[in-house]
Amino acid sequence: MATTQLSVPAQWRLARGVTPYRAGVRVEVWAPHARRMRIRFFTGGARGDHELDRVDDGGRYAGYIDGAAAGDEYMLLLDDKPPLPDPVSRYQPRGVHGPSEVVDPDAFDWTDRGWQGVEMAELVIYELHIGTFTAEGTFAAAIPRLRDLKSLGVTAVEIMPIAQFPGARNWGYDGVGLYAVQNSYGGPNGLKEFVDAAHSVGLGVLLDVVYNHLGPEGNYLDAYGPYFTDKYSTPWGRAFNYDDVDSEEVRRFVIDNALHWIAEYHIDGLRLDAVHGIYDFSARHLLEELTTEARSCAESLGRRVLVIAESDLNDPKLVRPVEEHGFGMAGQWADDFHHAVHALLTGERSGYYADFGGIEHLVRAMREPFVYDGAYSAYRGRPHGRSSAGVPRARFVVATQNHDQVGNRAEGERLCTLVDPARTRLAAALLLTSPYVPLLFMGEEYGENNPFLYFIDHGDSSLVDAVRTGRRREFERFGWDRRVPDPADLGTFQRSKIDWDKRTLGSHARMLRLFRDLLALRREERLLRPDEARLSVGSGDGWITLLRTPREPGRSPAWLCVYNCSDRQAKVPIAVPAARAWTLRLSTDAAGYGGDDRIRREVALQRDTESSERPTGAPAPIVSMPAWSAALYRESA
């Protein structure tokens, strides 16, 4: 009988760019717009100009340069034009306009050989911005904080984009050197040391990448080839050419970028920014192709990788399997949960919050990740979204704060500065007991009240003026007529840094205790994680209940979450299952978290011990809930 051999993909290697090889470097450049290509080394043993050969009719140039080595600086010369940075540069030590530097992708001494990656269902994501996560704003300065995040209960950090952007400060979505690690953060070695350190303490690392556009300053791709198209437009810049003439090489450029983060930097997952701005009408969508190749690359390395999309389309096709005509992605952001929580707790109704604000929206968000699943959206003036029925809840990432929802406010206010402490604690409980994958935004766990503002460091004054004007106009649409902090002012950036010293002080320490306790319960009790329990959502006048029961009766105790999302005390009737006692395990109103401690420590919700059904006419047990509070009950044995 013949045996079936399972083929293991060969380990992926980046072909484009400049890579050390033997006693020199290999060079490959795709530049169909050029008739001639040279590489100029400014330092090292190959200093000077070297001609590259055109190796095919598609515009590829290649060559081997003896004597060049890692650390040498170089630029590319197309025809007789001024030298330009390499579009596949791994490092831009002097910024987006300067020379590229040769990097040896195999030189780093990794210590994470036993690390295999993270699973969606186990994720508790902590989103951070390297530049504002510490006072120094570097990978090296962030490393000592990783153990704090692990002890908090986080399982993976998600880094906002670190592809080379202009200047020293930026959110990262204006990046132009997709393969180069931001020099002001610590460059390639800094990122590798950060990832290696994260793995050593048991944290995964997800990286935010931008494949819908490039930033306006330092973007030299047009000189090389048709990387962009005018067929489509995005709100942030020109769209990549994914389905027009010569698009195959552009797709390769972007997919290889994803693979190089996985193979060369041991990244555990990619968060793809705003995929609704990725326009591709090919028979096989770029997102499907990228996801498939990313998994194959990780498999060849003996690891797993997660590809997660940000999308405002409310379309489950992104995460449905390829066999079901989906794109097969591991997960996607579901912003409706944030909008439902935020609008209800703050009372805001401007912009897209006009579609939210009632208790019914939050109830729907607890049942389904998409509140708008084909329902009519008044904000859009049309039906929006599609049902996610049948899709595991671990495929959806939710948040009550993230860089978008905080930083895209005129003054960058965090939730804890918009609402009182009780509502802030309620938001934490809603997030960490929701049936989805939770994402925390840096500092949220201790109630950081420094803003997270939009900041830039462009060198072009006309571009700076355009950014200022664009921000003001954007906020006018939301009806925010307050002063918009100058994004180019260094003070705007400095105000956005989080303050780690607050974690041990007063109300901040109490908030941190709440997050630690909620995450500990989530870690210890499987039924509090996605897809582990049967869910039953109830609601009434300002309150919601979420009952989690085991899929196999008797395997584990049930959990009951009660939320009062109103400004008055609520008497919540509890439709609990068969005769058991229920013990209060956590209340956001507890004194240790900064509350008034009005919910009793022990509450027995007794049912008739002889029957699984309540006797006819018997009243339902009642839980008295203070305004803006949550309580978690565990079924007692």
Residue type, 87: P
Q: Are 102 and 25 in contact (CB under 8 A)?
A: yes
Cα–Cα distance between 275 and 288 in angstroms, integer?
Answer: 12
Question: How many other CB atoms are there within 10 angstroms of residue 475's CB atom?
Answer: 20
Is 273 an annotated catalytic residue? yes
Burial 511-547 (b: 16+ CB within 10 A, else e): bbbbbebbbebbeebebbbbebbeeebebeebbbbbb
Length of the chain: 637
Residue type, 488: A
Helix (H) or strand (E) holding 562: strand 559-564
Q: Which of 310, 355, 368, 448 is catalytic?
A: 310
Residues 6+ apart with CB under 8 A from 214: 175, 176, 178, 221, 237, 238
Burial 322-339 (b: 16+ CB within 10 A, else e): eeeebbbbbbbbbbbbbb
Pairing type for strands 204-209 and 269-272 reads parallel
Is 610 an annotated catalytic residue? no
**C-alpha 282: how far from its chain's center?**
26
Q: In the 3-class helix/strand/coil scheme, how is 518-545 assigned residue by residue?
A: HHHHHHHCHHHCCCCEEEEEEECCCEEE
Q: Where are the beta strands (DSSP E) in 221-340?
A: 228-233, 238-240, 269-272, 306-309, 331-333
For the purposes of burial, counting CB atoms within 10 Å of the CB of 316, is it exposed (0-12), middle (13-18) or buried (19 or more)? buried
SS3 109: coil
Question: How many other CB atoms are there within 10 angstroms of residue 610's CB atom?
Answer: 8
Q: Which of 101, 264, 273, 589 is catalytic?
A: 273
Helix (H) or strand (E) holding 78: strand 73-78
What are the strands of the beta sheet with 559-564, ordered from one edge?
A: 533-539, 543-550, 559-564, 629-635, 582-587
Question: How many other CB atoms are there within 10 angstroms of residue 577's CB atom?
Answer: 15
Angle among Cα 440, 443, 444 to the nearest 5 degrees reads 50
Phi, psi dihedral angles at 371 (to 5 degrees)? -60, -40
Residues 6+ apart with CB under 8 A from 489: 455
Cα–Cα distance between 137 and 130 in angstroms, integer?
Answer: 6
Q: Which one, of 151, 43, 158, lies nearest residue 93 by Cα?
A: 43
**C-alpha 405: how far from its chain's center?**
12
Angle among Cα 215, 218, 221 to the nearest 5 degrees reads 85
Say what angle helices 335-346 and 421-432 make with each other, to 10 degrees. Answer: 160
Give the residue numbers annotated as catalytic, written as ranges: 273, 310
